[in-house]
Amino acid sequence: MTRIFTPLTVAMLIALTPFSGVVFAQTTKMPVAPTAPANPATATAPVAIQSPTDWIAYEDTTYTPVADEISRHLAAARKAFDAKDHKKAAAEMRAVADELKEQGARAAKADKARAKAEMKLAQDTAKRMNLTAKKVTAAAAALESGKITTLADLDKALDQAARADMEFRWLVTDVTTWYPVSEEPQRHFGSALEAYVKKDYQAAATEIRKATSYLRLEAGRATNEAKQALESSVAELDTLAASVEKGAVKEEKALATAFTHANHALALAHHVKAAESWARKEYDKAGYELKAAAHGLESAAGWAGAEAKAGAAAAVADTKALGDKLVTGATWAREEVAKGFESLGNAINALGQRIGSSKKAEPVHVGS
């Protein structure tokens, strides 16, 4: 049977085609090699983009990518539980609790150079992660005593609040954890559209929910307007996924609109993080954040249409090039960085104005 694409679908697919991994597959992109390293001794191999190998799916249709130690131990605990090895499951849960305590301690020791709002978030995160560690430890004891007999019971022990608190671990996660999966939301959005066109609404909803999981994680390390934008998109995507699953969404435009908002929020959040890293003279981290912001902007513009995509193209290209320099230790000029931040911020704000977002990228002062 021949599949018929509507004009809007065709336009979306054409607009999104140049993006890495959009709709059909994800392509690993390696940064451009620098021609003149500023300090070869500090240059390191760039962190590569990659997809997670596994997922944790909870009964309330929320997902967590297996992308760090906490999620790996959680996934192992659930697999051990399925195999009726409750002793191993309990041990993995205790490993989760230990990791939460360790990451909570790191959050509590936030660098004094961090902004006041970020320090408060880190301290609050430490408290919440320690409380969650106690819940996880209690769940481990319940597993060993036989009080937990089904995955539903295990999910109940790790209630929604506890899982939400665990997502705040992204605040203290290393770039080698978050950056490899930074392009995953867009990949899942593309897959969601493809499934929707096929009228496979269950698959489309699942792809939306997987994309949403990354926004939740990013919201955990965001502050102020960026955090608000991400949380607003999470709510919008949750509602969209439920409607798509029921077959209640009649126009593809509804998906495009929500995906535009989500990617714009991600671009805004990474722009803020890039500025924070720059202020701390963590130039390689600033580079990764800039590259992620550029990808978010590129993706958002692609969903917004050909005109928006064309308008953002120059800023996207320039930001990726600057990010590559900072990541690899190539030579850069302060004026170049200042221009890069300004260009990216203006492009994010121009797209925000086009889509009706009130959240704006603030000017970044790179110093002299």
Residue 20, pLDDT score: 37
Do 349 and 238 share a structural domain? yes
Is 304 inside any structural domain?
yes
Query: Do the bridges between strand 55-57 and strand 63-65 make them parallel or antiparallel, or are there none, so unpaired?
Result: antiparallel
Give the span between the Cα atoms of 119 and 296, in whole angstroms.
26
- Is 76 among the domain residues? yes
Whose tokens are 């009080």? That residue is: 147
Question: In angstroms, how far apart are the furthest CA atoms of the chain?
Answer: 63
Mutual angle of helices 334-355 and 283-304, in 10-degree steps: 30
Looking at the structure, do residues 160 and 204 belong to the same domain, yes or no? no
Let me know if residue 61 belongs to a domain: no
* Lookup result for tokens 């021949």: 2
Q: Is the dihedral of CA 346, 261, 193, 294 positive or negative?
A: positive
pLDDT at residue 27 in the model: 35
54 is a domain residue: no
161 with 234, same domain? no
Q: What is the mean pLDDT of residues 155-165?
A: 83
Residue 171: which of 109, 224, 221, 111 has the closest Cα? 221
| pLDDT tops 50 at residue 105 | yes
Give yes or no: residues 234 and 269 share one domain: yes
For the cut 50, the answer to whether the pLDDT of residue 31 exceeds it is no
Contact 132, 169 (CB under 8 A): no
Tally of CB atoms within 10 A around 312: 26
pLDDT in tens, 293-315: 999 999 999 999 999 999 999 99
**Domain edge (last residue) among 155, 172, 189:** 172
Distance CA 185, CA 55 (A): 14
pLDDT of amino acid 118: 67
Burial class from Cβ neighbours inside 10 Å (0-12, 13-18, 19+) for residue 305 reads: middle
CB proximity list for 143: less than 8 A, separation 6 or greater? 81, 86, 89, 90, 93, 154
Closest CA to 226 of 287, 292, 180: 292
Residues 190 and 140 both lie in one domain: no
Task: Tell me the average pLDDT of the chain.
Answer: 87
Q: What's the CA gap between 172 and 321, in Å, rounded?
A: 26
Please check whether residues 234 and 300 belong to one and the same domain.
Answer: yes
pLDDT tens digits, residue range 110-125? 655 566 666 777 788 8
Contacts of 95 (CB under 8 A, 6+ apart): 73
| Residue 145, in any domain of the structure | yes
Burial 289-304 (b: 16+ CB within 10 A, else e): bbbbbbbbbbbbbbbb
User: Do 95 and 239 fall into the same domain?
Assistant: no
Residues 347-364 pLDDT 10s: 999 999 999 999 999 999
- What one-letter code names the amino acid at 172? V
Q: What is the pTM of this model?
A: 0.86
Residues 332, 224 within the same domain: yes
Helix axes 69-82, 86-108, angle to 10 degrees: 170
Do the domain assignments include residue 362? no
CA pair distance 108, 188, nearest whole angstrom:
34
Which pLDDT belongs to residue 16? 54
User: In this structure, are 292 and 344 located in the same domain?
Assistant: yes
Separation between Cα atoms, residue 363 and residue 361, nearest integer Å = 7
d(CA 274, CA 341): 9
Listed residues 119, 146, 172: the one ending a domain: 172
**Residue that has been written with the tokens 């995507």 in this structure:** 237
Give the span between the Cα atoms of 250 and 192, in whole angstroms: 14
Kindly state whether residue 360 falls inside one of the protein's structural domains: no
What's the CA gap between 306 and 245, in Å, rounded? 28
> Is 179 a residue whose pLDDT tops 90?
yes
> Domain limits at 149?
69-172
Q: Among 152, 172, 192, which residue terminates a domain?
A: 172
Instruction: Report d(CA 305, CA 328) in Å as an integer.
Output: 33
164 and 281: one domain?
Answer: no
Whose structure tokens read 């990010």? 323
pLDDT band at 108 (very low <50, low <70, confident <90, very high): confident
Alpha-carbon distance 170 to 168, whole Å? 5
| Banded model confidence at residue 137, pLDDT cuts 50, 70, 90 | very high
Q: What percent of the chain has pLDDT over 90?
A: 70
24-37: average pLDDT: 36
The predicted pLDDT at position 253 comes to: 97
> Cβ of 136: how many Cβ atoms within 10 Å?
26
pLDDT of 35 above 60? no
Q: How many domains does the chain have?
A: 2
pLDDT at res. 252:
96
Q: Are residues 190 and 336 in the same domain?
A: yes
pLDDT of residue 5: 47
pLDDT in tens, 211-236: 999 999 999 889 889 999 999 999 99
pLDDT of residue 9: 55
One-letter identity of residue 320: K
What does the CA dihedral 177, 265, 302, 271 come to, rounded to 10 degrees? Answer: -70
**Tens digits of per-residue pLDDT, 270-295?**
999 999 999 999 999 999 999 999 99
164 shares a domain with 185 = no
| Domain assignment present for 367 | no
Contacts of 82 by beta carbon, 8 Å cutoff, 6+ apart: 151
